[in-house]
Amino acid sequence: MFHQDEVDFIEAKKNLNKQALVVLHDIVDAYQKGIFDDPEKAEVYCNVLACICEGKITGEVDNTTMEVKWALTEKYISYLETIRSSIATGNVVAGPW
């Protein structure tokens, strides 16, 4: 699923809905920190949102700091391990394509 396949609207919506409260909390936090005012930070933040929609990361609010801690999903970790194994065996075509 993760290798350049686009996630359809329904799947993206499901992935986002699973994290809705965490995402809303993080958006407010990002606003308060001025992340949206810095073009580079805003671009990185949009990539985080895309990863949420793609099911690559999941978040959890730390109750002591009230900040969101993002982590890779188990499914995405497995995918990355597959890529790592392919690279280790030399079963990869060098890019750019």
The answer, yes or no, to whether residue 30 has pLDDT greater than 80, is yes
CA distance 47 to 54: 10
The answer, yes or no, to whether residue 3 has pLDDT greater than 60, is no
The per-residue pLDDT for 20 is 97
The per-residue pLDDT for 62 is 94
pTM for this entry = 0.82
Domains of the chain, residue spans: 9-87
- 31-63 pLDDT, tens digit per residue, is 999 999 999 999 999 999 999 999 999 999 999
The per-residue pLDDT for 39 is 96
CA distance 69 to 86: 30
Q: Model confidence at 6, in pLDDT bands (50, 70, 90)?
A: confident
DSSP run (H or E) holding 23: helix 20-33
The per-residue pLDDT for 84 is 86
The per-residue pLDDT for 5 is 66
